[in-house]
Each structure stands twice: as C-alpha cells, then as structure tokens.
Amino acid sequence: MMLQTIITAGATFYVTIAACLFTQWADIMQRDLGKRSQLLLLRIFLVIVTLFWPIIVPIAYLELLIKVKKDKEKMSWLAERSPESFSATTADDSLLS
C-alpha cells in the first residue's frame, strides 16, 4: 500500500511538471515559429523534451549557472576597471584646466 502511494505521488508529480513545461515550451515555440515547414519537427521535439524533462531541466539549469558565473566575473572585472578609467579621466580634465 505504501509503495503504491509513493508511485502514484511520483507519477502525479511527473505528469504535472511535464504538463506545465509542455505549455510553457509550446508557448515559446509558438512565438518563435518562423517556418511552417518545421512545424512537425518542432512538435516531435516538444514531445520528446517534455517526456525527458527530468534530464533536460537539470542540464539546462547547470548551463544557466555557468553562464551567470561568467557574466558575474565579467561584471566584476568591469567594476574594477571603471573607477580607474574614471579617475584617469578626471586627472586628464584637471590638466586641461
């Protein structure tokens, strides 16, 4: 009885998340759909991705984390450079006066 409850809860969770992801991804694909000739291929892709969401979502999340880390490093590098360039500009302006 306990195993049946766990399996039912897991299946319900899987189907609920799959349905939510399917509607979101279908909406995104509908907005980005450029060519009607690729419609069948996109639908097949959408079904496959929805079925394998437990694998796809963590991979996409890891890629997002890597991208955010790189962007954060770039922003910190730019933040470190900004005061130096600002002080150099004000020093040049004082020489011109």
pTM of the model: 0.58
Q: Report whether 33 contacts 39 (CB < 8 A).
A: yes
Residue 21 has phi, psi (to 5 degrees) of -65, -40
Polymer length in residues for the chain: 97
CA angle 43, 46, 50 (to 5 degrees): 145
Among the residues of 1-97, which ranges form H helices? Answer: 2-32, 39-51, 53-96
pLDDT one digit per residue (tens) for the chain, 97 residues: 899 999 999 999 999 999 999 999 888 887 776 666 677 788 888 889 889 999 999 999 999 999 999 888 888 877 777 765 555 555 555 555 4
